[in-house]
Amino acid sequence: MVKFFADGIWIKNGREIMKENPSDPVKGRRNTIAAGILMEHHEGKTIDETPSELRLKFDSLVSHDITYVNIIQSARPSGLEEFPLPYVLTNCHNSLCAVGGTINADDHLFGRSAAKRYGGIFVPPHLAVIHSYAREAMAGCGKMILGSDSHTRYGSYGCMGVGEGGGELVKQLLSQRYEVSLPKIIAVYLTGKTRRGIGPQDIALAIIGALFKEGHAKNAVLEFIGDGIEDLSADFRAGIDVMTTETTCWSSIWETDDKIKQFYKIHQRENDYKKLFPGNEAYYDGLLHVDLSAIKPMIALPFHPSNVYEIDTLLANSKDIFRELEKDSKELLENPDINLNLMDKIDSKGRILVDQAIIAGCAGGSFDNLMAVNSILENCLPKNQDIGINFSIYPGSQPIMLELTKNGTLSSLIKNGAIIRSAFCGPCFGAGDVPSNQGLSLRHCTRNFPNREGSMPNNGQISSVCLMDARSIASSIINGGYLSSIESLDWEEKIQDYNYDSSPYKMVYNGYGRPDKNAEIVFGPNIADWPEMDPLGENLLLKIASFIEDPVTTTDELIPSGETSSFRSNPLKLAEFTLSRKDPLYAGLAKQVNDVSGLIKTRNYEGAKEILPEIIPVYKTIYEICGMEMNDIQLSSAIFAKKPGDGSAREQAASCQRVLGASANFAFEYATKRYRSNLINWGIIPFLIDAELPFIKGDYVFIPGLKKAILEDAQKIIAFSISPNKKPVEFTLPLPDFTPSEKELILEGGLINVNKAKRSS
């Protein structure tokens, strides 16, 4: 049973749930583990009060090779001299990408040279995925880590991980602070014992299914407590924890015990352990009650980790469920030429035949998971049976790979048909083991969004990824490639003790505290500087260049991952792919608007008219409204999406829009705090629409006096929707509630401009 209680709740001694307590909730909230850690990292902390706005200084930073070049390139013009805290540059996202010639190796060389120049920690390709390395070498009880990856989650090790866009890491590198409102703290109360064969992904999917759709955990901290934790291994807890990102929570934290103490001892970091437990009477803003004994093997069907079913339910109702999913996909994929054919996977006996099985990375590639898979295959797979499907395993790190080699597990897995890959995140974002068109893949990894696992709906290519625990994936392999639950097998799980050996990290460069200021940073031919970006004008005219009506728009749809990531270090080239799989015409239209804006600045009105014939009539309409001349108005572009920003923390979802000249997003809601922060850090205004939409794609939105209104902290402003050859429509536009620093970012046109201005002054 998984049940959410939305009302505030008290917990005594970390175990007794009390619905009522006469104490002050503000004081009670301070007794949570999360609040204690947040206050320790808040600049200007006080003992007697809990601030509503936090200014956080993190203990360390982590990035991978899709993000670290742009982060360092953003910090360099602002006077970066030395990394003021440990900063780990991992290389787990573009280590196997074939697109781009020398681009990947060039970025890795840039990263190594920057680590030497500024005093960073460089983890070469194939050694570890970002989060496995952070668990092994960086996490510590009571610490906070900021990462430029959405799955920055180390809560089960007593360390609060926060995944954000690169701009927030730039601030930390420049000794600025991370600003956030005091988040809600939701208790996840685990009780009972897991059923035989249940793995961490089963628990994680049940939690995601209970929290995501209603937004219960949005931008909150999930605090895991309860007597059910004690029987879960450190790896098992981490497998649940890393998936909390898919609830849209901001961070996570767990109570710690002897098993976590042993984890730190094994990893030769005993001093990084301390006991974490809620205070005597702790107040939580909500509670998710999880009876571990009631959770059965789970599966998340395309195209979201929250689309969860018990595997038994799916197998009993596969035709009805797949038929409905095919129907829903028509609207989601927005391509009339694509027909998702899941029904073809059901044979005459009602069995579901899959094409591929993948166990990978920070979610699936842990030591315990792979030991469990091996014990299932060894116990239950007939010696002469062909497995029949493509089966790949990506251990999370070389130390894990080494231990599996030492104890014979690796050779056993290979004998049983597994293809062993290096530590690589590709299966999670579409750069490794991409399924075939209309293929059905079972994966123990983090996500199964459309456009993410490698298929390209706009090109007529579509595949389907289902998330499952490694144990049920092993069961499906034994079942000849037919989807099945681990509960269909009789087996004995054998997980040996893990002995960490750091020898594979001999190649890691650790220069923290020892910057070589004479070292030259090495730039490959694809690495480019950010283009100049204008500050906000007094009056703003926005062309709605894209209009997205999906219920949720992921960052992978805003800027696709996979092959586009080869251009991650070249802002202009990467921007060409903005919305390419959701709205292929967007980038061209946004560039047109940007070009016209430049022509108007130089008073080349005829040239502007040639590119956008309607622009002169639009400006004439504005003159009729308020007598304002063309050169008094800043022209830019904007997108509308109902709920943008779910998924990846990659700042490119915002920066690519900005490079194309965008100045605003309009939405009913923003899916995550990190996407809203990305927009603001790039000088893009995150407008919220609280009424019927006054515009459609191609319309213009004119906002006179916008800069003044923001300076004066106005709550709303009069705007006009202008459609060529139509009467303008006046409407009231709510203005975002900006903090002082957010206001500065918007007015100056983004973080780079703000820091340049500070440096020059």
Per the structure, the count of domains in the chain is 3
Q: Which two tokens stand for residue 457?
A: 């709906």
Mean pLDDT along residues 162-191? 94
| 40 pLDDT tier (thresholds 50, 70, 90) | very high
Looking at the DSSP assignment, which residues form a beta bridge with residue 509? Answer: 122
DSSP designation for 275? -
Residues 310 and 279 in one domain: no
Q: Is residue 530 part of a domain?
A: no
Pairing of strands 700-703, 540-548: antiparallel
CATH for 333 = 3.30.499.10
Q: Is residue 751 part of a domain?
A: yes
Q: Across 499-575, where does the E strand assignment appear?
A: 509-510, 540-548, 553-554
| 685 pLDDT tier (thresholds 50, 70, 90) | very high
Q: Is residue 384 part of a domain?
A: yes
- Determine the pLDDT at residue 21: 75
Residues 22 and 168 in one domain: yes
Domain end: 485, 503, 521, which one? 503
Residues 194 and 147 in one domain: yes
- Determine the pLDDT at residue 100: 63
Cα 375 to Cα 144, 236, 237, 354, 378, distances in angstroms: 36, 16, 20, 22, 5
Residues 52 and 184 in one domain: yes
pLDDT in tens, 182-240: 999 999 999 999 999 999 999 999 999 999 999 999 999 999 999 999 999 999 999 99
Starting at the edge strand found earlier in the chain, the sheet holding 390-394 runs: 308-310, 298-300, 464-468, 440-444, 356-360, 390-394, 419-420
Q: Could you tell me what percent of the chain has a pLDDT over 90?
A: 71
Q: Is residue 511 part of a domain?
A: no
- Determine the pLDDT at residue 45: 58
Mean pLDDT across the chain, nearest whole number? 91
Cα 311 to Cα 202, 314, 626, 710, 726, distances in angstroms: 10, 5, 62, 52, 54
232 or 380, which is more confident: 232
131 within 8 A of 245, measured Cβ to Cβ: no
**What's 719-735 look like in SS3?**
EEEECCCCCCEEEEEEC
- Determine the pLDDT at residue 506: 95
| 571 pLDDT tier (thresholds 50, 70, 90) | very high
Identity (one letter) of the amino acid at 527?
A: I
Residues 281 and 376 in one domain: no
- Determine the pLDDT at residue 588: 95
CA separation for the pair 432, 419 (Å, rounded)? 13
Residues 18 and 162 in one domain: yes
Q: Which two tokens stand for residue 634?
A: 């800043």
pLDDT in tens, 441-469: 899 999 887 766 666 666 777 788 899 99
Lowest mean pLDDT among 95-109, 578-592, 644-658, 669-683: 95-109
CA separation for the pair 629, 719 (Å, rounded)? 17
- Determine the pLDDT at residue 491: 82
Q: Is residue 749 part of a domain?
A: yes
CATH for 614 = 3.20.19.10
- Determine the pLDDT at residue 328: 81
Tell me the Ramachandran region of residue 645: left when phi exceeds 0, alpha when psi lies from -120 to 50, beta otherwise: left
Q: Indicate if the pLDDT at residue 706 is higher than 60.
A: yes
Give burial (CB, 10 Å; 0-12/13-18/19+) of 629.
Answer: exposed
Residues 246 and 327 in one domain: no
Q: Indicate if the pLDDT at residue 565 is higher than 80.
A: no
CA-closest candidate to residue 131, choices 110, 104, 108, 159: 159
Residues 28 and 50 in one domain: yes
| 22 pLDDT tier (thresholds 50, 70, 90) | confident
Q: Which residues touch 395 (CB under 8 Å, ≥6 apart)? A: 365, 370, 401, 404, 420, 423
| 99 pLDDT tier (thresholds 50, 70, 90) | low
Residue with tokens 């060529």: 724
CA-closest candidate to residue 703, choices 674, 675, 678, 734: 734
Residues 230 and 128 in one domain: yes
Give, for 394, the enclosing helix (H) or strand (E). Answer: strand 390-394
Identity (one letter) of the amino acid at 601?
A: K
| 563 pLDDT tier (thresholds 50, 70, 90) | low
- Determine the pLDDT at residue 274: 97
Q: Is residue 366 part of a domain?
A: yes
Residues 304 and 383 in one domain: yes
Q: Is residue 421 part of a domain?
A: yes
The number of C-alpha atoms within 13 Å of 302 and in the hemisphere containing its C-beta is 28
- Determine the pLDDT at residue 103: 85
How many C-beta atoms surround the C-beta of residue 84 within 10 A?
15
DSSP designation for 250? S
- Determine the pLDDT at residue 36: 95
Q: Indicate if the pLDDT at residue 47 is higher than 60.
A: no
- Determine the pLDDT at residue 435: 83
| 366 pLDDT tier (thresholds 50, 70, 90) | very high
- Determine the pLDDT at residue 458: 67
- Determine the pLDDT at residue 49: 63
Looking at the DSSP assignment, which residues form a beta bridge with residue 17? Answer: 11
Burial of 466-497, coded b for 16+ CB within 10 Å and e otherwise, reads bbbbbbbbbbbbbbebbbbbbbbbebebebee
| 26 pLDDT tier (thresholds 50, 70, 90) | confident
Residues 255 and 307 in one domain: no
CA separation for the pair 483, 418 (Å, rounded)? 17
Residues 170 and 63 in one domain: yes
- Determine the pLDDT at residue 402: 97
Mean pLDDT along residues 112-120? 97
CA-closest candidate to residue 332, choices 299, 303, 361: 303
pLDDT in tens, 587-600: 999 999 999 999 99
Identity (one letter) of the amino acid at 400?
A: I
Q: Indicate if the pLDDT at residue 94 is higher than 90.
A: no
Burial of 125-138, coded b for 16+ CB within 10 Å and e otherwise, reads bbbbbbbbbbbbbb
> Residue 201: phi, psi to the nearest 5?
-70, -30
Mean pLDDT along residues 346-357? 91
Q: Could you tell me what percent of the chain has a pLDDT over 70?
A: 97
- Determine the pLDDT at residue 326: 84
- Determine the pLDDT at residue 451: 67
560 or 37, which is more confident: 37
Q: Is residue 526 part of a domain?
A: no
- What is the domain extent for residue 199? 1-296
Domain end: 296, 328, 348, which one? 296
